[in-house]
């Protein structure tokens, strides 16, 4: 009985982060449901705020598509957010935060890290170990994958997506590399 209990406790404890990016992402984005503290948490985790105009054009295009889609769906919505940068493994990684408040009182907070030049996804066992549990859903298309944990913590979901360079999904959605997403919605 003790050994079985020990095995369950060991499996649920999170393993070390696959790279420093994961720790910096978690420090900034774990509490995305409390949006007012995300910018301060990002700065404390080593992210440097930058103007969107100074960010990688691939990231600003992705952010603009999301913003435009929201404005079409909810023209009265209030949209806010920040852009940050940090270097990991010799690459610039971008962190985009967003908050959408609808005219009917609904809200959605997001925090996304874009490592668009990541050469490979961390092994799934490493990701699952870092989160501390298996994902609630997995989608895969050849070497592209999306792993989702819902919840990551109460009220907050996590997605980790990897799309290799030149993959058809990347071409159709304008994404490539490693993307970490923390989201929270409410007010409805």
Q: Report phi then psi at 147, rounded to 5.
A: -115, 130
110 closest CA partner among 79, 141, 73: 79
Q: What is the DSSP string of 54-116?
A: GS-HHHHHHHHHHHHHHHHH-TT-EEEEEEEEEEETTEEEEEEEEEEE-TTS-EEEEEEEEET
Q: How far apart are CA 97 and CA 182, in angstroms?
A: 9
8 vs 121: which has the higher pLDDT: 121
SS3 163: strand
Model confidence at 69: pLDDT above 90:
no
Q: What is the pTM of this model?
A: 0.88
Element (H, E) at 126: helix 124-131
CA 111 to mean position of chain CA atoms = 5
pLDDT in tens, 127-167: 999 999 999 999 988 888 999 999 999 999 999 999 998 88
Average pLDDT over all residues of the chain: 88
Confidence of residue 11 (pLDDT cuts 50, 70, 90): very low
Contact 161, 145 (CB under 8 A): yes
Comparing CA positions, the residue from 183, 126, 174 lying closest to residue 155 is 183
The CA distances from residue 47 to 1, 20, 51, 101, in Å, are: 45, 12, 13, 25
pLDDT in tens, 83-128: 999 999 999 999 999 999 988 889 999 999 999 999 998 999 999 9
């Amino acid at each position: 009985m003790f050994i079985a209990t020990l095995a369950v406790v060991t499996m649920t404890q999170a393993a070390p982060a696959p790279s420093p990016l994961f720790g910096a992402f978690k420090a900034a984005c774990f509490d995305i449901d409390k949006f007012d503290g995300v910018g301060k948490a990002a700065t404390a985790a080593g992210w440097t705020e930058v103007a969107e105009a100074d960010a990688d054009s691939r990231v600003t295009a992705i952010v603009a598509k999301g913003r435009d889609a929201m404005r079409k769906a909810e023209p009265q919505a209030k949209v806010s957010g920040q852009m940050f940068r940090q270097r990991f493994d010799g690459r610039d990684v971008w962190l985009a935060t967003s908050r959408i408040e609808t005219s009917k009182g609904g809200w959605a907070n997001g925090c996304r890290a874009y490592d668009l030049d990541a050469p490979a996804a961390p092994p799934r066992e490493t990701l699952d170990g870092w989160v501390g549990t298996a994902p609630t859903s997995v989608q895969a298309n050849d070497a592209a994958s999306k792993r989702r944990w819902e919840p990551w913590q109460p009220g907050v979901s996590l997605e980790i997506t990897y799309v290799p360079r030149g993959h058809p999904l990347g071409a159709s959605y304008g994404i490539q590399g490693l993307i970490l997403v923390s989201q929270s919605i409410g007010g409805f």
